[in-house]
Structure 1
Amino acid sequence: MTARESGPSPANSTWTARPHAGFFYATSVEELLAVTLSRASMLDKHKPYLNQRFNAGCIDAATLTTEIREQGYLQPTHRLSLHPAIPRQPESPDPAPVPPKINGVTIWIVRNPENLTDEDEQRLNAILMRCPELEATRRHVGAFVTMIRDLRGDRLREWIDHVGADNLPALRSFTTGVKQDLAAVTAGLTQPWNDGPIEGTVNKIKIHKRTMFGRAKIDLLCKRILLLAT
């Protein structure tokens, strides 16, 4: 016969001297819960009053403690804070939204408005409403990006005049540099050709040069470049 079969059962004997024995002799979870939930508390007789005060709008533990102590309650205040009617801590306010980073705002400004998500567009509009200069900057940058995409170099002079009409030092400095080589910039915004393939070839040559650095001379580099071209 096992200890479970021969030992006392918490349902018909007292076992408070050895409370851990209840976990051994218990035959179900419900049996343990029945013992736990049946324990009396000094706060039980005050619970109806606490529920009444809570429903009336009083949720301050210190105030309620003072009131029930006048009725005979002698336990510490932290016991009262465990009552279901008393919130353990005040509800925390909603966290403030994280402000967007500068790089993110820059991407929103130069990107085509049709490619922005609804959330990004709303956040960008909220920023532009607070800064008229930034709103003007977005308008000019968008017009310049349109010239690049649609190859409308014929609008460059008009765009420069519009920028000069606004007090935007950064864009004015940019237009000053454009005026110094206006013909080349206009051609770049008009002709369908670009130096992309040349830049790609230069990058390939640099990669081959770095892989040989310190281990070969210019003659081997020339041979590798020629073999790559063929």
Structure 2
Amino acid sequence: MTHPGYLAETDAAEPKELRTVCPELDAVARHVHEFATMMREHRGDLLPTWMDRFLADDLPVLHSLVSGSRRDIDAVTTAFSTSWSTGQVEGHVTRVKLLTHMGFGRANSISSADAYFTARDPDDVSRSSTEPEPPHSA
């Protein structure tokens, strides 16, 4: 989600119009902006008051987010307060999924990835001479 301050004037105009017409959308956008700010600034201490303000608005469809977060408030607050990220782990999970899908033949549209993982570097001498060559496509 792009910070509203970084949007071009033309890109920011439409959401402003929608928010003036729909008060529920305005409330959700405001809460999302506050949530993103708390995450970016690692302000887990502000989370309980944000949850109270969120529940005060008439948005029952989204109240399950707060209810679920309150069940384990200590873990959620700690996650907000630390600078740790799961980005590297997620990258490895994505790579493993890609390799798994390739093994089961479900990655036909990812031909460049297939070529990357099966191509043999002629300068690579780590492959033993008894290993079969990967199939080459014509």
> What band does the TM-score fall into relative to the shorter chain?
0.5 to 0.7
- What's the counterpart of residue 170 of structure 1? 61
TM-score, normalisation: structure 1: 0.42
Task: Give the alignment partner of residue 144 of structure 1, picking from 11, 20, 35.
Answer: 35
For residues 24 and 101 of structure 2, the distance between their equivalents in structure 1, rounded to whole angstroms, comes to 45
1:110-152 deviation digits (Å, cap 9, x = unpaired): 5311111212222222211111111111111100011111111
- Any stretches of 5+ residues in structure 2 without a counterpart? 106-138
Whichever residue aligns with residue 115 of structure 1, its letter is Y
Task: Give the alignment partner of residue 49 of structure 2, picking from 158, 162, 178.
Answer: 158
| Cα deviation, residue 172, structure 1 | 1.3
| Cα deviation, residue 153, structure 1 | 1.1
Point out the more displaced range, 182-191 or 138-147: 182-191
Is the CA contact (8 Å cut-off) linking 1:188 and 1:194 kept in structure 2? Answer: no
- What's the counterpart of residue 101 of structure 2? 210
How many residues align structurally?
A: 105
C-alpha root-mean-square deviation of aligned residues, in Å? 1.8
CA 1:209–1:162 in 2, change beyond 3 Å: closer, same or farther?
same
- Map residues 110-149 of structure 1 onto 2, 5 A cutoff: 110-149=1-40
For residues 205 and 192 of structure 1, the distance between their equivalents in structure 2, rounded to whole angstroms, comes to 25
Task: Give the alignment partner of residue 199 of structure 1, picking from 79, 90, 93.
Answer: 90
- Any stretches of 5+ residues in structure 1 without a counterpart? 1-109, 215-230
Overall identity of the aligned pairs, in %: 38
- Map residues 1-230 of structure 1 onto 2, 5 A cutoff: 110-213=1-104
1:42-69 deviation digits (Å, cap 9, x = unpaired): xxxxxxxxxxxxxxxxxxxxxxxxxxxx
TM-score, normalisation: structure 2: 0.67
Of structures 1 and 2, the larger Rg is shown by 1
Whichever residue aligns with residue 150 of structure 1, its letter is E
Q: Secondary structure at the match of 1:192?
A: coil
Structure 1 stretches of at least 4 aligned residues deviating more than 4 Å after TM superposition = none
For residues 129 and 206 of structure 1, the distance between their equivalents in structure 2, rounded to whole angstroms, comes to 43
